[in-house]
Amino acid sequence: MKVQRRDLLAAGGLAAFAAGFSQTFGRMVDAFSGDAAQGHNLYGAALAPEFRVDPDSGELKLNPDQQVSYTGCLGCTTLCGVRVRIDKTTGKVIRVAGNPFSPLSTEPHLPMKASVKESFIALSRFQDKGLAGRSTTCGRGNAALAQIDSPFRVLTPLKRVGPRNSGQWAPISFEQLVKEVVEGGDLFGEGHVDGLRALRDLDTPIDPDNPGFGPKVNQVGHIVSVNDGRDLLGRRFWQQAYGTQNYVGHGSYCGGSWRSGSGALFGDHRAMPHAKPDLAHAEFVLFIGTAPGNAGNPFKRTGQLLAEGRADKRLEYVVVDPLLTNADNRAAPEQGRWVPIRPGSDGALVMGMMRWLFEHDRVNTAYLANPSLQVAEAQGEPSFTNASWLVIVEAGHPREGRCLRGSDLGLPLPDGAERYGDDDPYLVMGPDGAPLPVPQARTAAPLEVDAVLTLAGGRSVRVRTGFELLRESALSQSLEAYSADCGIAVEIIAGLADEFSSHGRRACAVAHGGMMSGSGFYNAFSVATLNALIGNLNWKGGFVMNGGGFPSVAPGPRYDLVNFPGKIKPRGTPLGRNIPYERTAEFQRKREAGQAYPADDQWFPGAPGLGTEFFASTFSGYPYSLKALILWMANPVYGIPGLQERFGQDLADPKKLPLIISIDPLINESNAYADYIVPDSLMYESWGWATAWNGVPTRMLTARWPVIEPRQAKTAEGQPISMETFVFALARAMDLPGFGPEGLADAEGNRLPLERPEDWYLRAGANAAFAGEPVGDASDEDIALSGVERIRPQLEAVLKPEEWRKVALLYTRGGRYQPAAQAQEAERPEWQTNRFSKPLWVWSEHVGGARNALTGQRYSGCATWQAPAFCDGTPMRAVHGEAEWPLLAMSFKSALQNSYSIATPITGLHPENPLIVHPDDAAARGLKSGDAAWLATPGGRVKCTVLVHQGVMRGVVAVEHGFGHRELGARAHRIGERQQPDRPHLAAGFNINDIGLTDPTRGGRSIWVDAVSGAAVRNGLPAQLERA
């Protein structure tokens, strides 16, 4: 007995020993059998250098095993120019850094004439060049390469199996994909689905009662993210060849309110121009709702210039933000300052500042008094405003809120000119007390005018200047009241105004994402207008325009990529209702019925295409419904507050929306609902001509080209399946204009094919290369060193002999760039070269002349403070009071993540997002850092982990965006026989958009958007927080 126990004991002991030391034994064996190659004894597995530069002679030696190419990053919307390092043997991207030619990655950037060889040497230790000419990618940009070979990539066309969003797909052939989406049929055994051919009805009106809606083709809608350099091909297909009106970008849920507010000042609600601080020369910048160096576009350039400015003690800046971000840096405390503000209340701060400026004579009235560019420039001013123009303020007058025009006074119109058209002059008060047409003004015009004029019809109306109306708006509330509304002390408001107006033209105020609140439009309009009051537009160191690109998709000089026979001009009411309600048939009907207002739902005269409103429109059928939705590179379900909660069910229902097609390399929260997913190329695999979104004062164009072999499956012709090959195939199948063997023409009008991506992009490149002063030719050395050898055959095949080396030059340099020195004019070095030459609309008649479709109330035409409200003007707090919802929740961009970088190594460093809570608010709820809590809004609740610190305003909770994913790896999809890997940690954290609000004043028909801009509201959500 005993003996046996001993044996068992011994055996057990031995077994445990064997198990416990298994690893040790293994490692010992390795050690002797000489374990797996572990690289150099000192450098380990470090990558072999891409090339060598002799530190003494500067001589360059290449590494034959690696390719270094300049192309574009898409790690965020900044679209930086980068240099990609490729292991030629494996074809894998091994590292990415910056392109020294690109101002988005380098300051100052190399001149175009520098050879590729010189550009490599400029990155090296030789003469410390690499430090001065440092060219960078950000943390995300470094990590982004992981997406190329991500196990979550879509590589073949997918067709859903089972119901929508069930995570089950069948890989299908490209041919089957094209056939099914074009011809339709009973595609899912759920009944007949119209294909794109049937849906392309250019004649039959959607609704005979509302012919204004346009033809049925408008029932095909398209949402794209950002223009990554391919957008114009998308538009050529969907709008000009296929014919739909409804093609929108992500603007309305990006920074839509800022853009609309800016568009109001710049007087353009389509292009919505906006300016940025000239960070390289500014003395003082006020960032209100944009976090330089934490996020922002251009992310790196802004961050670098900010860092340089504060380190050199040249730049002082203030960041007005409910949250403390990386925009602050305690190592340079005297240069920067964080001023906490209550979300959605920026208008109060800014109008308070304006009040102070008016009261202390700090408004640059001399500047504002210039009625035209002609007068302004004579006064040495590079820009002007309409502050002195006369505005009709007669209550009840049909033109109330609009600027007085010559025709109103009965002045004869120049023949051919139409009433209220461009040639119907605006007026200022003349020296003689009589109205004077602006074109005839030779001097400054009076700013303080309050007069009654007799119009042509004999009716006399009261007119005032925009200046007066703005001042009245600013003075309408006391500083104390403004202070109470925004939570910023009176002396700080005054201090900001004082500082802002103490740097001449080298000061500036700018905003962006922080404007995405329930008072977004007017907050943004106010911030933009602040700049007009010091006259900093177009000044070096002031408020400056983007340099813009070089025309590539243009009508010349080498190829006409714009016009083609049979080109369609889409017509009809846009699905997003971004036109004045007063232009609709509904308005006519209701007015005749005697009750013009309210409209059945909101209309947004002050906005461009509204992706935010697509969903409310199509699912409520107002104005009409979509039959098919195309999602290209877009993820509205993840990015729009409240969308999934409000419309998830509808999206999942094929009866409500019969066809959803996505073109995307990944499965995200939106295309998880798709019926078909078309694989697309990822950044380093794709073509494109991308301009800087803004913030680069010189002209630049980034050349994106396949520096590696695209991973997607190929078409029968051997083309990688992508957005391009997809639309080419659709065009062929439906025989659409502007594509095919004669799709294009050169400058001489000779027809050329548009059947492969190169046909488009290389010719666009030729236009860019020949724009203005044509660029030089790429040398064989340039081509060899930059890996452009890869596409040399296409270059020579598609382009003309005199063209291809010039286009090659752009690819070898990763684009075309204007010299940094040309940002300012040579003869007037204080003026920017690229200036905005139209008036700044201190009073926007476009807005001031419009009404809220739900109430018939007039909008204010100038900057003003209005508390966050729902569409019909009901203050948010009147519906969701502080008693029940004591907190305000807001969103900010992760400094590291973007909305689709979750499955990259950056997540290893920062695995999850916390809810940032102020210590007082935490204490009140017995919460401490690390505790789990429920964050609730009227839109729902989410579980989160709280992080408690002083870096957030009391009463505000802040959510870092980029986490809380349901897709992009968070859920393992089944594709045919293949199951994607399980990576539950990719679902870490939470997304504030899961608890976005719906608008009670729109019968819950839609999510909460700003009444004027239609932009998503993600900041200032009423909220509660409690322990979980």
Partner 1 sequence: MKSERNEYEAREASEAGRRGTPPGPPDCNVSRRNFLRGVPVLTAAAAVPAMAQTPATARHWAMLVDVRRCIGCQSCTMSCIQENVVPEGSFRTVVSTYSVEVTDARQPAGTYVLPRLCNHCDNPPCVPVCPVGATFKRADGIVLVDADRCVGCAYCVQACPYDARFINHDTNKADKCTFCAHRLEAGLLPACVETCVGGARIFGDLNDAQGELRQRLDAARGELKVLKPEQGTAPQVFYIGLDERFTGKVEGQGSLWKPRARHA
Partner 2 sequence: MNTAIVETINVTREVAWLPWAVSYFFLIGLSYGAFLLSLPGVVFRRPGWEALSRLALLGALVCGLTAPVALLADLHQPGRFWHFYAYFTPTSWMSWGAFFIPVYLVGLILYAWLAFRPLLAAHGRSDGRLAGLARAIAYGGLESRRALVGAAVVALVGALLVALYTGVEVMVVRARPLWHTPLLPVQFAVTAFAGAVGLTLLFNRFGPARHDAVLIGRMSRVLAVSQLAALLVGVLWLVLGVSGLAPVHAEALAEVAHSPGWQLTAVWAAGATVLTLLLSWWRPGSGLLVGLLALHSAWMMRWTIFIGGQEVPKTGAGFYSYSLPLGPEGLMGIVGTAGLWVFILVLLTTVLPLERLASARPAGV
Ligand X SMILES: Nc1nc2c(c(=O)[nH]1)N[C@H]1C(S)=C(S)[C@@H](COP(=O)(O)OP(=O)(O)OC[C@H]3O[C@@H](n4cnc5c(=O)[nH]c(N)nc54)[C@H](O)[C@@H]3O)O[C@H]1N2
Instruction: List residues binding Mo ion (CB under 5 A).
Output: 254
Nearer to ligand SF4, 76 or 1017 (CB): 76
Closest distance of CB 512 from Mo ion, Å = 8
Q: What is the footprint of ligand X within residues 53-92 (CB under 6 A)?
A: 74, 76-78
The 3-class secondary structure across 180-229, one letter per residue, is: HHHHEECCCCCCCEECHHHHCCCCCECCCCCHHHCEHHHHEEEEECCCCC
Nearer to ligand SF4, 44 or 189 (CB): 44
Nearer to partner 1, 51 or 705 (CB): 51
Nearer to partner 2, 948 or 1012 (CB): 948
Closest distance of CB 129 from partner 1, Å = 10
Query: Segment near ligand SF4 (CB under 6 A), from 73-81, 755-763, 806-814, 854-862?
Result: 73-81
Residues lying near partner 2 in the complex (CB under 8 A) are found at: 3, 6, 9-10, 12-24, 27-32, 909-910, 919, 922-923, 928-929, 947-951
Q: What are phi and psi of 224, to 5 degrees?
A: -120, 160
According to DSSP, the residues that pair with 206 across neighbouring strands are none
Nearer to ligand X, 547 or 1020 (CB): 1020
307 contacts partner 1 (rule: CB under 8 A): yes
Residue 756 CA to residue 729 CA, distance in Å, equals 10
When binding is defined by CB under 8 A, the residue of 77, 99, 124, 252 that contacts partner 1 is: 124
Query: And the tokens for 864?
Result: 């003003």
Length of the chain: 1028
Contacts with 905 (C-beta within 8 Å, 6 or more apart), sequence order: 143, 146
Nearer to partner 1, 141 or 406 (CB): 141
The answer to whether the bond into 598 is cis (omega within 30° of 0) is: yes
When binding is defined by CB under 8 A, the residue of 10, 14, 27, 1026 that contacts partner 1 is: 27
Q: What is the footprint of ligand SF4 within residues 364-423 (CB under 6 A)?
A: none
Residue 233 CA to residue 238 CA, distance in Å, equals 9
Strand order in the sheet with 158-160: 247-248, 220-224, 628-632, 659-663, 676-678, 158-160, 168-171, 974-975, 978-979
Taking CB within 5 to 8 Å according to partner kind, which of partner 1, ligand X, ligand SF4, none is near residue 288? ligand X
Q: What is the footprint of ligand SF4 within residues 138-197 (CB under 6 A)?
A: 138, 140-141
Residue 930 CA to residue 928 CA, distance in Å, equals 6
Q: Which of 226, 147, 72, 146 is nearest to 635 (CA)?
A: 226
Taking CB within 5 to 8 Å according to partner kind, which of partner 1, ligand X, Mo ion, none is near residue 540? none
Q: What is the DSSP letter of 372?
A: S
Tell me the residue type at 885: W
- Binding footprint of ligand SF4, residue count (CB under 6 A): 12
Closest distance of CB 149 from ligand X, Å = 14
Q: How far apart are the first and last CA of the chain?
A: 56
Residue 448 CA to residue 429 CA, distance in Å, equals 9
Closest distance of CB 789 from partner 1, Å = 23
Query: And the tokens for 181?
Result: 């989406």
Is there a contact between 1018 and 1008 (Cβ–Cβ < 8 Å)?
no
Is there a contact between 1017 and 516 (Cβ–Cβ < 8 Å)?
yes
Is there a contact between 751 and 745 (Cβ–Cβ < 8 Å)?
yes
Is there a contact between 635 and 651 (Cβ–Cβ < 8 Å)?
no
Taking CB within 5 to 8 Å according to partner kind, which of partner 2, ligand X, partner 1, none is near residue 666? ligand X
142 contacts partner 1 (rule: CB under 8 A): yes
Residue entry with tokens 């910048």 = 285
Bin 1021: left if φ > 0, else alpha if -120 < ψ < 50, else beta: beta
When binding is defined by CB under 6 A, the residue of 241, 279, 288, 944 that contacts ligand X is: 288
Taking CB within 5 to 8 Å according to partner kind, which of partner 2, partner 1, Mo ion, none is near residue 179? none
73 contacts ligand SF4 (rule: CB under 6 A): yes
Q: What is the footprint of ligand SF4 within residues 75-114 (CB under 6 A)?
A: 75-76, 78-80
Nearer to ligand SF4, 104 or 436 (CB): 104
Taking CB within 5 to 8 Å according to partner kind, which of Mo ion, ligand X, ligand SF4, none is near residue 971? none
Closest distance of CB 236 from ligand X, Å = 17
Residue 626 CA to residue 876 CA, distance in Å, equals 31
Q: Which of 278, 309, 119, 103 is nearest to 820 (CA)?
A: 103
Query: Segment near partner 1 (CB under 8 A), from 337-345, 358-366, 638-646, 776-784?
Result: 337-345
The 3-class secondary structure across 573-585, one letter per residue, is: CCCCCCCCHHHCH
Here's the x/- map for partner 1, 44-83, by CB under 8 A: it reads as xxxxxx-xxxxx----------------------------
Residue 524 CA to residue 508 CA, distance in Å, equals 14
Q: What is the footprint of partner 1 within residues 842-901 (CB under 8 A)?
A: 895-896
Query: And the tokens for 562?
Result: 């714009």
Handedness of CA 502, 503, 505, 508 (dihedral sign): negative
Closest distance of CB 140 from ligand SF4, Å = 4
Query: Segment near ligand X (CB under 6 A), from 156-164, 507-515, 700-708, 877-885?
Result: 507-515
According to DSSP, the residues that pair with 391 across neighbouring strands are 403, 464
Closest distance of CB 568 from ligand SF4, Å = 34
Query: Segment near ligand SF4 (CB under 6 A), from 68-76, 205-213, 496-504, 660-668?
Result: 68-76
Per CB under 6 A, residues contacting ligand X are: 74, 76-78, 225, 250, 253-255, 288-291, 294-297, 299, 320-323, 325, 341, 343-344, 346, 512-514, 517, 633-636, 638-639, 663-666, 668, 680, 682-683, 686, 890-895, 898-900, 961, 992-993, 1018-1020
Per CB under 6 A, residues contacting ligand SF4 are: 73, 75-76, 78-80, 137-138, 140-141, 299-300
